[in-house]
Amino acid sequence: MKKVILLAVLALVVSMPAFASVNNIKVSGSVDSTWLNRANFDLGANNIGDETQNLGITQTMVQVDAELTENVSTTVCLINERAWTAKGASAAGDNINIHYAYATLREMLYSPLTVVVGRQAFKYGNSFVVDSTGTNNSAPADSGIQNIAGDLTKQTAQDAVRLIFDYNPLTLELLFSKISANTVSLVPDNDDDIDLYGANASYELGDAWTTMVEGYFFTKVDKTIGAAGADRPRADVAYVPGLRASTNPIEGLNLQGEFAWQGGNRSTSGTGAQQNNQRRNALGAQVMANYQIPVLEEYKPTADYVYTYVSGDRNVSGVNRDPGRGNPVSGENYTAWDPMFENQGGGKIYNAIFNLSNMHIHSASFSVSPIEDVTTKFSWSGLWLDKKYDSTAVTLVQPDNNAGVAGATTTAAVNRNEEDLGFELDFDAVYDYTEDVQIGASLGYFFPGDVFESVSSKAAVANVTNIADDAASQVLVHMNVNF
């Protein structure tokens, strides 16, 4: 594998001068090795005893940045993600994939405009709605860790075109991203793409509080629902306008707030007369506070609080919220928040087993640097449902795809009259060994709440299976070297 990466980099470096005059070339990359130990990410719902993972993974990136002229540059990055000893002629761990491949044109047509085209990384705000990572509890199929720990993938880029207009202090950005092309051959009715469109504007007020305001409008259009043909249902569409603000009212304190609404059409998998479209009407909001505590400053004490709200719909199982009415009624409101392409809660257990929808999340953390070059952090996260489940079971996302079965999930029994999903405790420590080398460790536990059926309540509920009352745990130890 190392030889292949080296040959690819050399080929890029050697071939570039044949096509363009290169002012500057930079080669960089990283090697991140992680030991992972996880247990009970199904919360015990499989009823086959404690499920555990104990393995090592390595994620390697090699990047070449070439500056062709003052205003034209290109970036190509190769990536490999694999479990240790996972190799072979057909092993996913042998895959070397294109992580980044984009060109940047500055002052195109006129000076304020920058155009970025190709496979690239981007984020908006705090990645509450759109981030190139996408929903970060899954990895692409060509990643060597898709069926191991997909939520930890570094393959976090999208094929996109971005137009960035810099009118300092106003910045306007237009986005088009091809999430999935699906059918690309010359066949009838191949309009089954997933596309993302967006406009994002941010403005720095220039006041003493360094206040910044941001507004956006994103649209996701998913045409994969239903079978091909004349009866293909309407596209599943989510329109998302939103506002975000950030300010620093006193020294060391940053406050942020964000609010977004989702409209559009939720399409089910039926076709023709069997299709049921529902109007989207969902809400999402977030409040953040970060305070650098002005005592014992040599230890850099910092406190954080984040509240996240994403609306829900009791219709989690696909049946109407009113028992007895059968299938969803076409045109009724669907109030569950679509996670879109968020990227929050990375590394947390709850982020790996729940999608960001139908929740109130309170998170509080405290970090301190007890000795030079070492940072420690303790975090608590509490999760509550927005809408109680109108079902006796809920599907948990599994970051290992249940032993490699693509798309497989775990179903856990739930109490329909409860709202407490559970809480998580995390402890993180990072040691900056050098400027380019970091050694870190993370220990986490998630304790399921009253929403999940417990062994003690099983006797009171007839025919209850998939009991989910075990705490999930993980230990991550990693070393990351940048070059």
Per the DSSP assignment, residues forming a β-bridge with 199 are 174, 217
Q: What are the distances in angstroms from CA 427 to CA 376, 399, 438?
A: 7, 21, 17
DSSP structure string for 88-127? STT-GGG--EEEEEEEEEET-SSTTEEEEEEEE--B-TTS
Locate 53 and state its tokens.
């993972």
Report the sign of the C-alpha dihedral through residues 219, 223, 225, 230, in that order.
positive
In this prediction the pTM is: 0.87
How many beta carbons lie within 10 A of that of residue 298, not counting itself? 7
| Closest alpha carbon to 394 in 451, 348, 319, 470 | 451
Comparing C-alpha atoms, which of 349, 352, 361, 355 is closest to residue 305? 361
Contact 58, 82 (CB under 8 A): yes
Distance between CA 286 and CA 259 in Å, rounded?
7
d(CA 57, CA 145): 8
- CB contact set of 12 (below 8 Å; sequence gap of 6+): 64, 76
- Which DSSP helix (H) or strand (E) runs through 282? strand 282-292
Positive or negative, the Cα torsion across 126, 128, 132, 133? positive
Query: Which pLDDT value is given to residue 407?
Result: 43
pLDDT, residue 38, reads 94
> Architecture of domain 2-476 in CATH?
Beta Barrel (2.40)
How many angstroms separate the CA atoms of 466 and 72, rounded?
57
pLDDT score of 68: 94
**With contact defined as beta carbons under 8 Å apart, do 175 and 164 qualify?**
no
List the one residue out of 14, 115, 96, 28 whose CA is nearest residue 58. 96
User: What does the pLDDT profile of the chain (483 residues) look like in tens digits?
Assistant: 444 344 444 444 434 444 556 789 999 999 999 999 999 988 887 765 567 889 999 999 999 999 999 999 999 999 999 999 865 444 556 789 999 999 999 999 889 999 999 999 999 999 999 999 876 678 888 888 888 888 999 999 999 999 999 999 999 999 999 998 888 888 766 778 899 999 999 999 999 999 999 999 999 999 887 555 545 567 899 999 999 999 999 999 999 999 999 999 998 765 554 566 889 999 999 999 999 999 999 999 999 999 999 999 976 544 333 333 334 555 578 999 999 999 998 889 999 999 999 999 999 999 999 999 999 999 999 999 999 988 788 888 888 866 445 444 578 888 888 999 999 999 999 999 999 999 999 999 999 999 987 755 554 444 456 777 889 999 999 999 999
Whole-angstrom distance, CA of residue 148 vs CA of residue 399: 7
- The CA–CA distances, whole Å, from 37 to 53, 168, 428, 474 equal 5, 47, 15, 6
φ, ψ dihedrals at 48, nearest 5°: -125, 25
Angle at 74 between CA 72 and CA 76, to 5 degrees: 175
Long-range contacts for 458-463 (Cβ within 8 Å, ≥24 apart)? 461/413
The 10s digit of each residue's pLDDT in 237-283 is 999 999 999 999 999 999 999 999 999 999 876 555 456 688 999 99
Euclidean distance between the first and the last CA atom of the chain, given in angstroms as a whole number: 18
Give counts: helices (H), strands (E), the chain.
5, 22
**158-162-168-169 Cα dihedral, nearest 10 degrees:** -50
CA gap 170, 223 in Å, rounded: 34
